A and B are shown apart, each in its own frame.
Chain A
């Protein structure tokens, strides 16, 4: 059988690239849905119902056996069937779903502006908030390259969002404030969940997404049914009549989210999100296609020359920022000889050092092999000199820098 070996970076960026294309199509479907169902809360409830149905079917399909185990394994190798989270994982999932419910309501409010190419870039401000969180909560100072590329990407996304129609101050503030803050909290929690280990396994992205939708639906449905002015039959009728578009929307979201969560478990959250902002560029194309297919719902503003130029500049900046990030990443193996009495503690302490991807206790010439992901040599200095050298029990450190890496998918 042919063995596919792909560079690790390629997997990471392929996941994100595909997720961004899906995102821009999803944004179009969202705009179409919000033109159909005007109340953002009603739409949120409907879309979660549809999502739960679609994902339950999806999970059943992912259980199908293939030569290499369950079908879901091809999407996420960690998938071993639907995992039921407990303890810490469960708490994070419930909190994350609450943030996502709020984000979704604000999002649909903003989506009613009717132009995916404006909606998508506005959603990208999360990246800036994430960088700040990365810096504060994880005590991980972003490097100059990270900061400058995130700024470039954000300015780019902002320029690409410029539109001539229906954009008012309140919508813009709603997007920059509550909508992005909620999605920042949501993504931060997702990252925490994707690195939480329970019962000796990480929660796989498929199970995670399933439970998120499950709890989102659980949280908003009672609230909606109590406050809703319509009859149950009326609600059901409206839901069924718009089920097709909502289920396609949520089916694609399911796929995009799984890829996104997998990417999150591989890289830093502000970087992942910056890269997903590529969808802002695809959004321009999708806007045009959408307005051609559904002229009644998608507003394709008659862009004047300056708006087109500005949007194009914005798009170029986004791509440029993404490439800046792409080219500045390196990994290093750290081989350690240690005092065996301190082995257990050291393993623990090392795994808490920022940038360390895995720490393995090994038998052989060395005692510990750790893998470090860094964005600049100055960062390596910080980690090696300031953090590792202070740990007690390390006798010798050998650094082996990785020039190029291949990983099996």
Chain B
């Protein structure tokens, strides 16, 4: 079990939130999508097999039209 999980914080162009969420829903490794208010517009949780796989998934995310900026935080430890 060497799976890698990460939170990716996303900022989107105004008016594009819905399209971006629809596109994110099509990526299988994204286990949770939250539309948010505050300094970020969308927060997703990605679960990948390893770091290489995570890179590929994030690459897919970056291709989505309407995403302005992403910041990924790989999870080191999680409780509970």
Contacts and interface: CB of A to CB of B under 8 A. Distances in A.
B61 to A, nearest CB: 14
Interface in B25-53: 25-28, 30-40, 43
Contacts of B37: 400-401, 403
**Range for the number of chain A residues in contact with chain B:** 20 to 34
A333 B79 contact: no
Contact of B80 (A3, A195, A335): A195
Contacts of A5: 25, 33
A405 B26 CA distance: 15
A236 B77 CA distance: 53
Contact of B32 (A335, A351, A361, A408): A408
A363 B43 contact: no
A8 interface: yes
Nearest to A80: B1
A112 interface: no
A369 interface: yes
Chain B at the A interface: SS class: strand
A348 interface: yes
B75 A361 contact: yes
Q: Could you say which of A3, A365, A400 has the most chain B C-beta atoms within 10 Å of its C-beta?
A: A400
Contacts of A331: 34
A361 B76 contact: yes
B78 A400 contact: no
A347 B75 CA distance: 13
Contact of B7 (A3, A362, A406): A362
B12 interface: no
B38 A358 contact: no
A362 B7 CA distance: 8
Given A362-B7, A363-B74, A197 B80 contact: yes
A3 B25 contact: yes
Nearest to B31: A408
A348 B79 CA distance: 8
A372 to B, nearest CB: 12
Contact of B25 (A358, A404, A406): A406
Nearest to A402: B34
Contacts of A202: 80
B62 interface: no
A347 B80 CA distance: 10
Contacts of A359: 78-79
Contacts of A403: 34-37
Given A3-B25, A3-B26, A3-B28, A398 B35 contact: no
A348 B77 CA distance: 11
Contacts of A335: 9, 39
A409 to B, nearest CB: 10
Contacts of B76: 360-363
Contacts of A197: 80
A224 interface: no
Interface in A32-48: none
A358 B79 contact: yes
Interface string A339-360: 0000000011001000000111
B34 to A, nearest CB: 4
Given A3-B25, A3-B26, A407-B33, 14 more contacts: A333-B36, A333-B43, A358-B78, A358-B79, A360-B76, A365-B71, A398-B39, A400-B38, A401-B38, A402-B34, A404-B34, A405-B33, A406-B32, A407-B32
6 contacts: A195-B80, A360-B5, A360-B73, A361-B75, A362-B7, A407-B31
Interface of A: 1, 3, 5, 8, 195, 197, 202, 331, 333, 335, 347-348, 351, 358-366, 369, 398-408
